[in-house]
Structures are given as structure tokens and as C-alpha cells.
Chains A and B, each alone.
Chain A
């Protein structure tokens, strides 16, 4: 496992997500200690796979209230009405977040050559997403649209194997 990838992700995640959300829907963003509430409300989940020298995935999750506001912002003030259009817009958001993330990683770690797979957008109640065998870095971001959860997991990147922590 390449040294430094975990620290890079940890350090970069806030800036990366802030720049994407700021550019797309002019939203300010702070890292949040409060997660998504544990309700059975409808949620949206965007999953993007990572493949290349390492494998993994990026998951974005938000409540349907937040995604409604977010979608309307992305659509320049008009609501996004059909499920298919919601899927397209959220998929594009996933592509932009994922694209920025792997660009930064690929540029910083030569030979990594991570690629994104097409985004898959889920919505549902009591949603649970697990990727077995992958430990992940999870952060919550508070935007003026609501809270967004980002979960990034790459095979072999385990926080507690970082020797600098000992």
C-alpha cells in the first residue's frame, strides 16, 4: 500500500468537496460533527466505483429534502421533477466529486491510474450500503442545502495501519 494516501484523502476531502459544491450551486460548506439523522426518511445514495492500481468506491448520501434543494440549485432554480432527470443530475454531481477526487489522487501519486465507473443512483427508505472488506473514511458536510455524507473506501487504505499514528 502506497504511503501517504490515507493522509492525503483526509487532508484533501474538505477542500475538494467545498470546491465542487461552491462551483455548482454556490453553497458554503463546513465539516459537520452531526451526521444524517437516523430516520426511515427517503434518502439518495450515489455510488461511484474506483478501479486501477487500487480498487474502491465513493459514496455520497443525502436526505431527499436536501437532494430536492440541491437538484433545484443545479437546475438553476427550477425543480427537477422526473426520477430519470433526478438520476442524471445526481449522477453528474457524483461524477464531478469523483472526478475531482481521482484527479487529485492520480496527480499526487504517480502510477495510481484510478478510474471512475459510471455513477449508480439509489433512492429508498432505510437504505443501507456496505462494501465488505473495505474500510472507509466518512465525513459529513453541512451545506446550505442540508447535510451530505461522503464515504470513501479504497482497498488497503486502513487508518489504523498508518504507522505515524503509533
Chain B
């Protein structure tokens, strides 16, 4: 499998490191890290990642506000990350077309499983 380029959009350095370890252990790479949604949108446009991990709750611009500004092709690459398990927020994310969700804390294998599901969907 071609190594994938992953963009992490999350204001937590812990989540960024955990995601980096999970992703790099399976031969993929984290190509960027945005600490808020606004920076995330800029990096999506510049770096054109294969996979986007997106936190729900962030300062300046949150995950749902990012989704409002993405087209369907990019939303298909999104894994939404949440600590809250907020059913209402997750429901809204689903309405935007997000198919993959992870609750914090997550296991590395959960991240890889979500990435594989995204790839399977694309083939």
C-alpha cells in the first residue's frame, strides 16, 4: 500500500503525538498539524492530505465549522475525533457526511482501522 499523508487538526499536543505514533507505526506519515479549524482549512488547501483527523472542539474554529466549509470529496477523508461523545454534535457531523468517528482516548488500531475503511471505500 502506498504510504498515506495524514493531516492532524487538533488543539491537543497529546492527541497529535498519539496520532503520529499510530500512523507512523503503519508506514504512513503525518504531514501537518493544525491547532484550530482555521489553520486546518489552510493546511488542507496547501497540503492536499489523503486523510484528515479532525477534533470536534477547538478554539477559533471548531470541527463542525470546518466541515461546513469542505466539499464532499474532502469530507470522505475525515476521521472525526471527540472526547465528549456528544450525540448531537456527532449527529450533525454525520449530516455533513462524516463516516468515521473515534472517541478519545483511542487505540492505534482504531485509527488504522478507520484509515483502512476510508481506503476501502475509495477503491
Number of A-B contacts (CB under 8 A): 59
Q: Are the CB atoms of A92 and B85 closer together than 8 Å? A: no
Q: Are the CB atoms of A76 and B17 closer together than 8 Å? A: yes
Q: Which listed residue (B11, B15, B85, B87) contacts A100, Cβ 8 A?
A: B85
Q: Is the interface of A mostly helix, strand, loop or mixed?
A: helix
**Contacts known (A96-B83, A99-B83, A102-B85); A88 close to B14, Cβ less than 8 A:** yes
Assign chain A's interface to a size class. 20 to 34
B122 at the interface (CB under 8 A from A): no
In the complex, A74→B17 CA distance in Å? Answer: 9
A24 at the interface (CB under 8 A from B): yes
In the complex, A91→B58 CA distance in Å? Answer: 13
Q: Encode A18-42 as 1/0 by CB contact (under 8 A) with B.
A: 0010011000000000000000000
How far, in Å, is A20 (CB) from chain B's closest CB?
Answer: 6
In the complex, A23→B17 CA distance in Å? Answer: 14
Find residues 96-110 in chain B having any chain A CB closer than 8 Å to their own CB.
103-107
Smallest CB gap from A97: residue in B: B83
Assign chain B's interface to a size class. 20 to 34
How far, in Å, is A148 (CB) from chain B's closest CB?
Answer: 15
A55 at the interface (CB under 8 A from B): no
**Contacts known (A23-B105, A24-B105); A103 close to B84, Cβ less than 8 A:** yes
Find residues 1-37 in chain B having any chain A CB closer than 8 Å to their own CB.
11-15, 17, 21
B86 at the interface (CB under 8 A from A): yes
How far, in Å, is A12 (CB) from chain B's closest CB?
Answer: 14
Smallest CB gap from A88: residue in B: B13
> Which residues of A lie under 8 Å from residue B87 when comparing CB positions?
106-107
**Contacts known (A76-B21, A98-B83, A106-B85); A23 close to B13, Cβ less than 8 A:** no
How far, in Å, is B12 (CB) from chain A's closest CB?
Answer: 4
Q: Are the CB atoms of A23 and B106 closer together than 8 Å? A: yes
A64 at the interface (CB under 8 A from B): no
In the complex, A66→B57 CA distance in Å? Answer: 28
B53 at the interface (CB under 8 A from A): no
In the complex, A154→B18 CA distance in Å? Answer: 32
> Which residues of A lie under 8 Å from residue B84 when comparing CB positions?
99, 102-103, 115-116
CB-based closest 6 A-B pairs: A103-B85, A99-B83, A23-B105, A95-B83, A92-B12, A92-B14
Give 15 new A-B contacts, CB below 8 A, not counting A24-B105, A96-B105, A100-B103: A88-B11, A88-B12, A92-B15, A95-B57, A95-B83, A96-B104, A99-B83, A99-B103, A103-B84, A103-B85, A106-B87, A107-B85, A113-B88, A115-B84, A116-B84
Q: Which residues of A contact B (CB under 8 A)?
A: 20, 23-24, 74-76, 85, 88-89, 91-93, 95-96, 98-100, 102-103, 106-107, 113, 115-116
